[in-house]
Amino acid sequence: MEKVALLSVYDKSGIAEFAKGLRNLGYTLLSTGGTAGLLRKGGIPATDVSSYTGHEEILGGRVKTLHPKIFGGILGKAADRKHRAEMEKSGIDKISLVCVNLYPFLEKMMEKAPLDDILENIDIGGPSMIRAAAKNFRSVVVVVDPHDYVRVLEAIREGSMAEGMRARLALKAFSHTARYDIIINRFFEEKFGPEPFPRYRNSTFEKVQDLRYGENPHQKAALYKPFLDRETGVANAKQLQGKEMSYNNILDATEALSIVEDFSMPTAAVIKHTNPSGVASAATIPEAFRRAHAADPKSAFGSVVALNRHCDGKTAALMQDLFIEVVICPKFEKGALEILGRKKNLRLLETGPFIVDRSSPEMRRIASGLLMQTRQFPTISEKDLKVVTKRRPTKQEIRDLLFAW
C-alpha cells in the first residue's frame, strides 16, 4: 500500500528536511499551497491538496483541506476492511502521517493587530486535521511540533513507531489544539464582554521549571504559570543568581510581593514561612528595609525579602551580613549586584516594573473546586473609621492600623 503523508504547516522550520526524510522512506507527499511551494522550490516532489481533491481553494484560502478525500484518508482505519473498501470505492488514499501546525493567532493577538487580521488567523482546517489524525492514532502518525521531526523519522526508519509513541504524539496534538482554542476563547472574553464569573472557566498553564522537591523532600513538584499571564510574579521573574528556587521559596516570595505591590511609598517585606516578620514603608528603600528587618530580626533569619523599588547599593550593604534566602524586586542596580554577587547561594529575582491586574479575579484551588473573588479592595482613611471602644486610639495607633490594612 502506498504511504501518504500530508504536510500543511505555518511554521516551516525544518519542514524541508522532514519532507526529504519522508520521501527517502517511501512516502508520497500531499501538501497545501505555501508548504507545497516551499517543498517544490527545494526539489522535493509534492502534490497540491487541491489537485488531489479536484477542488480549488476557495474564499481566499479559508477552505483548503475540508474535503472527504482528506478527512476520509485521515479517519479511515487501516485495519478495517469496510473502511478500506469504502475508501477504494470513493478514490480516497489512506493518509498515514499528518504534519500540521497552526496559524499564528497568538502572535497576532499579542501584537494587537487589527481585528480582521486576528480573526483571519483563527485556523479551521488545521485543528480539524490534527484532531482527526489524533483520534485515529492507531492508523495515523500526527506531528505538531518541529522538535519531533527527527525522532519520528528515526522511529519510522527503525520500524519502532509503536502504539505507545503514536499515543504520546496524539496526546501532544490534543494538547496543542486545546491550548489554541483556549487562547482564542481568552481573546473573545477580553474583547467582547468579559464576565468576572463565567459559567465555564477555561485556563491553560505552561511549565516554567521542575523543582527539586515540593513542600517536603518526598514530594515531587513543578512551577507552572497561566499562559498569557502578564502580571508581576515569581513565575515571570528572572533569576539572576543563586541556588534553584524551592517550592517554599516560591510561596514566600509570592506572599512578599503581594504585600509590597500594594504600597506607593518605598516598601520592604520580610517573610518567613509565608508570614511577615516585618513590613515597613519609608522615604527611601534602604530605610524601609532596615525598619522591616528590625521589626523581628530573629524571625528574619533565612527569610525572603521583597522590595517595591530598585535594590541599590545602600540596601544591598544592609543585607550583606544577613542570612537571606531570596531577594525579589523590580531591578538590581549595579552597586547592589557587586555586593550581593559575593553571596553565591543568595537567590536574586528581578521582576521588571510591577504589573498588577486588579480586574482579574483572585483564584484559590480547593479539594473539590476553585474559589474566585474580585480583587478590588477599598481604600480607607481615618474618617472612615468608627471607634467602638471606650479608649480612642492615638494618632500613631490609627496610622499603624491604616498601614496594616
Residues serving a catalytic function are 135, 273
Q: Measure the CA–CA gap between 119 and 78, rounded to whole angstroms.
A: 36
Question: Could you give the C-alpha distances from 211 to 57, 142, 304, in angstroms and in order?
Answer: 49, 31, 18
Minimal CA–CA distance to 65: which of 124, 136, 125? 125
Q: Residue 264 corresponds to which amino acid?
A: S
Q: Residue 122 corresponds to which amino acid?
A: I
- Contact yes or no for 319/327 (Cβ under 8 A): yes
Query: What is the DSSP annotation of 332-375?
Result: B-HHHHHHHTT-TT-EEEE--S----TTSPEEEEETTEEEEE--
Residue 213 cell numbers, joined? 522537591
- Contact yes or no for 257/282 (Cβ under 8 A): no
Q: Is 76 left (phi over 0), alpha (psi -120 to 50) or beta?
A: beta
- Contact yes or no for 303/321 (Cβ under 8 A): no
